[in-house]
Structure formats: C-alpha cells, structure tokens
Amino acid sequence: METSDVPVGVADVSITDSKPNPPAPTNTASMLPPCRVCGEKASGFHYGANTCEACKGFFRRSLKKKGEYKCVNNKDCNIGPGKRNGCPKCRYKICLDIGMSKEGKYNDSI
Amino acid sequence: METSDVPVGVADVSITDSKPNPPAPTNTASMLPPCRVCGEKASGFHYGANTCEACKGFFRRSLKKKGEYKCVNNKDCNIGPGKRNGCPKCRYKICLDIGMSKEGKYNDSI
DNA sequence: CAATCAGGTCACGAGGTCAG
DNA sequence: CTGACCTCGTGACCTGATTG
C-alpha cells in the first residue's frame, strides 16, 4: 500500500542553488515524500517507512534501548518539522504507528 | 589585547547561520568568532548564538529564573571582556538582543 | 555493476554538576 | 551565583552487505 507514496514522473527539480550535479543525476532523495515521522525531507526507505536521516538514526537508537522513554508532558506531544526533539517517547510512538520495524528492507510483512 | 570597553553584544546582529550546512564549517571552537555577549572566546553555538561557556551557562540559568534580574545601575551597563559579571540583567538583555532562545537549534517549546 | 539500506561513527550542543 | 567540566542524545556522513 505504499505505492501511492511514489510521485510519478519528474515533476520539478527546483535546483536553484549554485550546486551542479556532477555525479549520478539520479536525485532520488529529492523526489521522496517527506519523513513520515517528523515531516522533514526524507532520505530514503528506512525500517519500513520513508524517514529522514534523523528519524532513521533515532529509531535505530530506540531499538537498542527498547524504547524506554518517558513522555515529557505525559500526553501526546506535537512532533513536527523543527520540533522533533521535544519528546522522544512520542517520537518513538509515531515510528511504531507508521509501521517501522527491525526488518524493514524488502520484507514488509506489516 | 582585546577590544577595550566596546560592548560586544549590541554591535551587530548578523545571524547568518540558520541553515544546516552539510560540511563542517570550521574545525574546532578555537577558530570561532568571539562570544557575542561578552566578547571572550566562544566555545560554540549555544541557544542560537556564538557564546562562551560562561554566557551559555548564564543564559541557561536565566531561563530557569525567567530573567528576573534587577539592573545594578538602573541603566545600560557595560558588558565586555573581563566585566561580564557586573550586571546580570544587562547581560541577560544582550543575550536576548542577539537572538538567544530556548529553541536555538532544533528544540521546540511546548 | 549500480543503487539502496542497515548499522557504525563521531563532532556538536543541551543540560547537569559542583568546587570556588 | 559563576563557569569549567561532564554526560548523553542527536544527526550528518561513512561503510559494508544485499539486491536487481
């Protein structure tokens, strides 16, 4: 059911900065949907979901400590762009909600 | 010899770094610009501004007590290298003037 | 062989600590 | 109260493994 996330066709490439594309012109990350956790720019498919590097690393760290967080406000914190570090527990909860798991590569048995 | 009696804080408000750049801009704190508050050697980016360890700790403490200081001279005190402890209120004022805040980097305020 | 992802690495900053 | 030092989470980058 993840197929709806893929934007079909090269819509726009708003590369307006002074950086050319010397190597592979396959700007993959630039056409990905935003991170499912925090809404920032995703860097790829990680642990079964489109996430940014930050949330990818966060989830990996969370697996090690088994998600033993405590909510800062004892309620559902607002996780979004620019405020993803407010509450680790609620951030981790979103990770689980969107189906992130240890086996995420080509094994989407969710 | 450093700058004499020139108050460093209100000098310029050139906050030019609001964008996460991929490569490391500089090596270490040894080549950072001086502390925007007191003019001493900065130790890094703290709460949204280049400050020394002293002013970083001071600002953190100030946040807790909500900046409830009273000016020593009832006017704008001269904050500079070697005389940063003269008046907490005016020191805190400079912190706010240069844009220091809880949400300097990625943190959020709920 | 090229593209992609899991996991590792490490510099950086927030917040805590405590002697002075 | 001050400020030098400490710990820990964060996230950008790197590397190896795996896949088509």
- Domains located in chain A, CATH noted: 29-103 (3.30.50.10)
Q: What is the pTM of this model?
A: 0.71
Question: Averaged over A87-100, what is the pLDDT?
Answer: 92
CA distance, residue A92 to nearest chain B CA (Å) = 16
The residue with tokens 């990770």 is A95
pLDDT at B37 over 80: yes
Residue B28: pLDDT band by 50, 70, 90 thresholds? low
Instruction: Collect all residues with Cβ–Cβ distance below 8 Å to B3 and sequence separation of at least 6.
Output: B39, B80, B81
Separation between Cα atoms, residue B18 and residue B25, nearest integer Å:
13
Interface residue A76 vs chain B (CB under 8 A): no
The residue with tokens 């930050």 is A54
CB pairs under 8 A between A and B: 18
Residues of A in contact with B19 (CB under 8 A): none
- Closest nucleotide (CA of B68 to C1')? D1
- CB pair distance less than 8 Å for A77 and B110: yes
Q: Give me A61's structure tokens.
A: 């760290």
Mean pLDDT across chain B: 74
